Structure 1
Amino acid sequence: MILSAARRQKTAKLALLSLVSAASLLGAAQALAFSLDDVTAQARALMQKPYVAPVNNLPPEFSGMQFADYQKMQPRSDRFEWSDQPTPFRLNFYHQGMQFNSAVRINEITADGAVRQIQYDPERFDFGGLAFDKNATRTLGYAGFRVLYPVNQPDKLDEVASFLGASYFRVIGKGQVYGLSSRGLAIDTAPPGGEEFPNFREFWIQRPGPDDRQVVIYALLDSPRATGAYQFIVRPGGKDAVVDVQANIFVRGDIQSIGIAPLTSMFLYGPNQQSEFRRNFRPAIHDSNGLAIHTGSGEWIWRPLNNPKTLAISSFQVDDPKGFGLLQRGREFSRYEDLKDRYDLRPSAWIEPQNKWGKGSVTLMEIPTPDETNDNIVAYWTPAEPTRRGQMLQFAYRMHWTSDEPALHGADNAWVRQTFHTDNEHLQANLIRKFDGNSAFLIDFEGPALANLPADATLAPQVSVGDNAELLGVGLERNPAIKGWRVALRVKVKNPALPVEMRAALVQGDKPVSETWSYQLPPNPQAAAAAAAPAPAPAPAPAPTATR
């Protein structure tokens, strides 16, 4: 068909208008699409306002709940969010109760970029026979949420992430069970002063599509001295779970010690620490057994954890860290022998910065605990510069929730497999006597850098101890059972009321071939008290006895 010039011009105008309209609609949709920028704007505005604490709206039936009753309130599987959507992900929710006394607003971001609040509905829960006034739930809400995804079997949903309480969250991958936790931010965790616990006040969760293998979560953080906008991209598939985090933090008030990418875990005892708890049938009880650090200069450091008698705080200067984390080294069931809690399946959490963090340090806090119900280990990175009111801080990092700790090192390194510690024992002779300040340590190193060494390779242990101890002896021998080497050292503590710092590594010539074992022997209050006590008076001579 042949069009006239006028009709061709009119058709062209209509086509142009259609293109303009389509572009306008696309631009409008893009402009309306919710993103981290929207949460950042809210956090920035919130910083300018006085802090308002979350409202505690719990009636007595819920505020006085014991843990066993709280556990009875379970989400109904037929009421999971996204059950009617073509996505492999599901959401369910935590009910308010116990210390979870404030409702958290949870929103969904739909495929077209619209935001809708997921309204609280008590019909989503099975209350497990709990007796309470149904009207008491009318003003309540959700305390947090879980993300479900089939990581172990294609036709079975697994819980892979949980956000509950303050800014706490936990993630697990294939074959793992929950162990340590992470937080959005730590404020003044170390004394003096009291710790401030920021809260995630509101969440926005992007509804994944049919082929999506990740879920995007935004969170608004609020506390008396900081606000923040967070983006979490959770990828639960594969051997490990990976979470990419972007944190935009606004400082409301001066902060003495701000903790970035904080991790919280539990260590009760293990073979590296003499403890009365070792009378338990389990050889070890811990969610994590060491702090690993990959410094900006390339050194690897391994600090075995302790359950000290008094609070212990260690600081490692680490500028522009390449990574750090609380790890659960040792996956053999025989290390734990626990069929119920399966500490052998607890994940490690490794923090891998994605931008330059500058000068700072990794802080480790070890808090005394009498049992395994308390999280007594905290680790985080702190910038060297003071944190002042009005600042904006930006940190990007990738979290690996992993059971493959050797993969973090690669093929050109060796690491500490295990640390053994015993008091009062000489390495060369099996002589046990009353504590006299002697402590012996066996450190097993393993890894490709050692397994691939030639048979005639010469290694040497590089060992140092702090001023509060005397190094009595060092030994080195092959450990063919692990294709590695064992370092044995013995120290004599000078003042048991003070800690002892020790370091050990394997070197070939002047080149390190292993990470650095960095151990702190905690103070021993009982030994210190015994050393300070006056010597007992000599016993009187026995009376003579008759003989025949």
Structure 2
Amino acid sequence: MTESSTIAHRAYARLTRSFIVGLLAVSGAVSATSAHAFNFYDVARRAKELSNEKFKAPTSALPRELRDLKFADYQQIQLKREKYHWADNKSPFELVFHHQGMYFDLPIKINEVDAEGVREIKYDPNDFDFGPRKPDAKALNNLGFAGFKVLYPLNNSKKPDDEIASFLGASYFRVIGKGQQYGISARGLAIDTAVPSGEEFPRFREFWVSRPANSDKHIVIYALLDSPRATGAFRFTINPGEDTTVDVKSRVYLRAPVAKLGIAPMASMFLYGSNQPTTSSNFRSELHDSDGLAFHAGNGEWLWRPLNNPRRLSTSSFGMENPKGFGLQQRGREFSRYEDIDDRYETRPSLWVEPSGNWGKGRVELIEIPTADETNDNIVAFWVPENQPKPGAALDLDYTLRFTRNEAKLQDPKLARVIQTLRSAGELKGADLIRRADGSLALMIDFTAPATARKNDPPVPVSLSFSNNGNADVMENSLRHNPVTGGWRVTLRLKVKDPTKPVEMRAALVNGQTQVSETWSYQLPANETAE
């Protein structure tokens, strides 16, 4: 298996048929007389028109022999190297197209925008290598693409085949920066996630890719989104680098009201970690693409919420006004946390959303779904506006997506931040110096040290602010200097009162009445300590 195919497997095997089937529509056309005339508002105009039309469920023409493929077989279907789009010019970018197969069984339309205008990129089965199978060419006529990926010489200027972005399945897309591997997914829009009536998965049905000039260091992609109750227009400006950023301009229309509208959604995986150790024997002590949710609220608060793999679906909401940033992060960057030389979880990017302008009142919502293995994206986060647009009215929200491994750079450098949360059985050291379990649950939270005003100033004196929701008896609540990290360690020992209910906790470092750290906000899920 090649590195590219391994990444593809990790990126797409998590999507199930239910995410996609029945949610596509036949492609609509957007015309423009020239590349100069074509812009975001051409796509927005089509999205508006679609919102006034009845949703048309698509049908699949994928032959059974390609529909029934296992993923390893699907990986063998590859675009021939000489057919890479823009491979014959000096642009640093190339496009590579995904063939339909398995549950990627409905077509998208892909257009190219250049100085001569807008042209559809036509599907031709002869452009693909199907491996050992020889499908009937007639059965593949006009089948169409399933998606595409973008190549750019990110890690080695002499190797132009670094994959930096991929669009495949519903409105999912993945992006990476230098030295990163695919992990977390972004999405165009989320509708009714974790609502009892069931989730609706909007899908990008048509793309327009602007052909970059030879000197361009960015690429612009437009997308038209459609679903039974929503349409939308998107412009993605991808800027590859150490941190790859995607500037997103979006306009969403509703055909009908929804229970929950998720803006700038992202999906990730958390199986187990230091705050929720595995109960089975495994050489990997942690296994996740993200280990926590972070946000910077409009009132200035910074918060860190470690993730869980709960026994039952869990939804957490954090209300605020005009968020300054939020995202799922992978703070554990040491290889020793994972010891996985194949999947390299320490290289998975964090995804940080930086809103443009004021987003008003709403909430950051975190959804944690039980999973038994690492092939499922069981963590979802997004922004839910307090007021959704009325059917036919536009909702304009712009933002930047930052795919990074430098989480500390995102945060206020003056504040201490959480670097790990450890969980174990609680214990006490006896007079004989032997440690014995006391029936409690223990949590250790390591904070960095708050920054001093000047480099040579003495350390900032701190104390601990801690609270919980009353569903636990706190046996210990202590704060100690950590001589190894130079920061501070909080030790909590507690006994849960009602294990069928969650325990909510908050902790922060304070100097007098001034908070000098981000807020650690943790939920011990219900039934975690039940027999």
Instruction: Determine if the TM-score, normalized by the shorter chain, exceeds 0.5.
Output: yes
* Pairing 1:303-342 to 2, within 5 Å after superposition: 303-342=305-344
Separation in 1 of the partners of 2:449 and 2:287?
A: 25
Q: 2:263 aligns with which of 248, 260, 282?
A: 260
Any stretches of 5+ residues in structure 2 without a counterpart?
Answer: 1-31
Separation in 2 of the partners of 1:297 and 1:484?
A: 26
Aligned to 2:93: 89
* Pairing 1:278-297 to 2, within 5 Å after superposition: 279-297=281-299
Aligned to 1:46: 50
Q: Which has the larger radius of gyration?
A: 1
Separation in 2 of the partners of 1:457 and 1:448?
A: 6
Separation in 1 of the partners of 2:128 and 2:483?
A: 55
User: In the alignment, does 2:514 pair up with 1:508?
Assistant: no
Any stretches of 5+ residues in structure 1 without a counterpart?
Answer: 1-27, 531-548
Deviation at 1:388, TM superposition (A): 3.5
Aligned to 1:139: 142
* 3-state secondary structure, aligned to 1:379: strand
Number of positions where the alignment pairs a residue of Structure 1 with one of Structure 2: 496
Separation in 2 of the partners of 1:178 and 1:418?
A: 23
Deviation at 1:389, TM superposition (A): 2.2
Separation in 1 of the partners of 2:513 and 2:88?
A: 63
Conserved 8 A contact 2:36-2:115:
no
* Pairing 1:82-481 to 2, within 5 Å after superposition: 82-112=86-116, 114-157=117-160, 158-236=162-240, 238-277=241-280, 279-426=281-428, 431-433=435-437, 436=439, 438-446=440-448, 449=451, 454-455=457-458, 457-481=460-484
Alignment deviations for residues 72-99 of structure 1 (CA, whole Å, 9 cap, x no partner): 1112221100112231100010000111
Separation in 2 of the partners of 1:221 and 1:427?
A: 60
Separation in 2 of the partners of 1:138 and 1:62?
A: 14
More off after superposition, 54-63 vs 209-218:
54-63
Separation in 1 of the partners of 2:414 and 2:228?
A: 46
Deviation at 1:119, TM superposition (A): 0.2
Deviation at 1:31, TM superposition (A): 8.9
Conserved 8 A contact 1:95-1:142:
yes
Conserved 8 A contact 1:188-1:194:
yes
Structure 1 residues 456 and 292 mapped into 2: Cα distance closer, same or farther (>3 Å)? closer
Structure 1 residues 173 and 493 mapped into 2: Cα distance closer, same or farther (>3 Å)? same
Deviation at 1:426, TM superposition (A): 4.0
Separation in 2 of the partners of 1:507 and 1:333?
A: 32
Separation in 1 of the partners of 2:449 and 2:60?
A: 52
Conserved 8 A contact 1:255-1:388:
no
Deviation at 1:46, TM superposition (A): 0.3
Structure 1 residues 492 and 454 mapped into 2: Cα distance closer, same or farther (>3 Å)? farther
More off after superposition, 386-395 vs 101-110:
386-395
Deviation at 1:192, TM superposition (A): 1.8
Aligned to 2:82: 78
Conserved 8 A contact 2:504-2:523:
yes
* 3-state secondary structure, aligned to 1:228: strand
Aligned to 1:10: none
Letter of the 1:419 counterpart:
T
Conserved 8 A contact 2:123-2:142:
no
Conserved 8 A contact 1:230-1:246:
yes
TM normalised by structure 2 equals: 0.90
Deviation at 1:427, TM superposition (A): 7.7
Letter of the 1:488 counterpart:
T
User: In the alignment, does 2:501 pair up with 1:498?
Assistant: yes
Conserved 8 A contact 1:249-1:394:
yes
Conserved 8 A contact 2:253-2:389:
no
Letter of the 1:397 counterpart:
Y
Conserved 8 A contact 1:449-1:514:
no
TM normalised by structure 1 equals: 0.87
Separation in 2 of the partners of 1:466 and 1:369?
A: 27
Conserved 8 A contact 2:450-2:516:
no
Conserved 8 A contact 1:80-1:124:
no
Conserved 8 A contact 2:251-2:395:
yes
Separation in 2 of the partners of 1:88 and 1:354?
A: 29
Deviation at 1:448, TM superposition (A): 5.7
Deviation at 1:471, TM superposition (A): 2.0
* 3-state secondary structure, aligned to 1:393: strand
Aligned to 1:488: 491
User: Identity across aligned pairs (percent)?
Assistant: 53
* Pairing 1:26-65 to 2, within 5 Å after superposition: 33-65=37-69
Alignment deviations for residues 420-465 of structure 1 (CA, whole Å, 9 cap, x no partner): 011343488864448x4x2111000115627968446421011101
Name the one with the larger helix percent. Answer: 1
